[in-house]
Structure 1
Amino acid sequence: MNDDLMSAIRWNEDGLVPAIAQDAASGQVLMLAWMNREALAATVAEGRAVYWSRSRQRLWRKGEESGNVQQLKGLRLDCDGDTLLLAVEQVGGIACHTGRAHCFYRLLEDGNWTATEAVRRDPASLYGSAQGDEHE
């Protein structure tokens, strides 16, 4: 990506911007992650979602461990220039480190968070640990 495209983005004080992944076909919001300039450039160059892992302080190619990659279908910048929206094809149908289709599976009902999405695959089988290595 050229500098003009990068300069249109309002990066936070840590040099990051929130990136929302949305299923390109259904419109379902899958997850929220973060990107730095390097992650955004890699995403565009590779045609797949590459994020910045704040916990590991390194690039995180979505699906690098689980196989559940996100193929980039479109990229948008919001009106304020401070949030990216990635339209993706979620390979494998699992975006969340919990083994669910998306990360927004908890619904506020009667003052409590209720899980509304079933686990599609045990995280231990995806990552080799119960926590999931792609957890941000």
Structure 2
Amino acid sequence: MVDVAGAVEAVALIAATGGASGLGEDAVRGVVARIRERVRGVFGGDVRSVDALDGAVADPGDARRLRELAAALAWYAERDEEFAVEVVGWAQQYGPAAGVVQNIHAGRDAYTAGRDMTVQQRPETDPASE
């Protein structure tokens, strides 16, 4: 049996966000559409799993929805070796390359969270005028 633990999380993220690494924008849309179509086909008439896919696509920022989709993918991958191989292949080919490290050095307020960053500029104060 293929180890799919990490792969299902990567594929859930790809399917939910519509993002895949290493491809141009048009290619990403095609790949993501094929992955979603294949996953929907594997889920078949399983309303709960289809709802997990639809919910994650509708709100990819919701960690609970991503976990539900990953759990559904894992459940089917454990029972279908061919699907498990596909999931691992998608994760290896299109998943995020590696973690991103942000080192921030700012002379102003900088708030970071995940992939979002907000920088608020404060008016410069002249130490001599204080």
Structure with bigger gyration radius: 2
Say which structure, 1 or 2, has more relative contact order (CA 8 Å, 6+ apart): 2
Q: Hey, which of these two has a bigger chunk of strand by percent?
A: 1
- TM-score, normalization: structure 2? 0.28
Q: Hey, which of these two has a bigger chunk of helix by percent?
A: 2
- TM-score, normalization: structure 1? 0.27
